[in-house]
């Protein structure tokens, strides 16, 4: 993904990086209703526990929560409905093959607004074991401790 100054990050999925080994990041669009995009612009989007499934050679995001729009009255949407993802046919075929044959799953990592449109960053994910998570936590703690000691040493 190219670096663009006109990007406003709406939601991050921090649990994805903790629970999975992530690879092959890809940007895609989402099919949203009018009240949904208004709610997203207000920051009412959550990616926790969401994942991507394939139905009839199309990708859908499941469990992505978009809060109801406050001024939407009767036109409001179901907050947990499945939403279609906009991907090219070759990208869909490649991802579907990886999920079926490679034992991967697709998870969203980030949602953002660019040029008035809501985009989603998705990644192929392979599940981490408990010992992988412990090792990563230990490594982060060690890095934090080293940085703290360097800061103390430099202040003397």
CATH code, domain with 40: 2.40.280.10
Residue 147 belongs to a domain: no
Residue 110 belongs to a domain: yes
CB atoms inside a 10 Å sphere around CB 62: 13
Residue 136 belongs to a domain: no
The pLDDT assigned to 4 comes to 60
For residue 1, what pLDDT band results from cuts at 50, 70 and 90? very low
Residue 138 belongs to a domain: no
CA 117, CA 122: separation in Å to the nearest integer? 16
Number of domains in the chain: 1
Residue 146 belongs to a domain: no
Mean residue pLDDT across the chain: 87
Residue 23 belongs to a domain: yes
Residue 34 belongs to a domain: yes
The H or E element that residue 134 is part of is helix 130-154
Which has more pLDDT, 19 or 25?
A: 25
Residue 84: C-alpha distances to residues 20, 31, 54, 146 (Å): 23, 5, 10, 45
Q: What is the pTM of this model?
A: 0.77
Residue 133 belongs to a domain: no
Tell me which residue range forms the domain holding 87: 7-128
């Amino acid at each position: 993904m190219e670096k663009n100054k006109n990007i406003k990050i709406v939601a991050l999925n921090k649990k994805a990086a903790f629970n999975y080994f992530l690879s092959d990041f890809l940007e895609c669009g989402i099919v949203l209703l009018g009240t949904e995009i208004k709610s997203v612009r207000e920051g009412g989007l959550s990616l926790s526990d969401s994942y991507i499934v394939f139905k009839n050679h199309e990708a859908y995001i499941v469990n992505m929560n978009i809060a109801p729009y406050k001024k939407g009255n009767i036109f409001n949407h179901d907050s947990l409905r499945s939403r279609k993802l906009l991907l090219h046919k070759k990208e869909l075929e490649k991802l579907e093959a990886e999920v079926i044959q490679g034992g991967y799953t697709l998870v969203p990592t980030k949602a953002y607004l660019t040029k008035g449109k809501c985009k989603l960053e998705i990644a192929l994910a392979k599940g981490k074991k408990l010992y992988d998570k412990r090792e990563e936590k230990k490594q982060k703690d060690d890095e934090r401790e080293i940085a703290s000691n360097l800061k103390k040493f430099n202040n003397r």
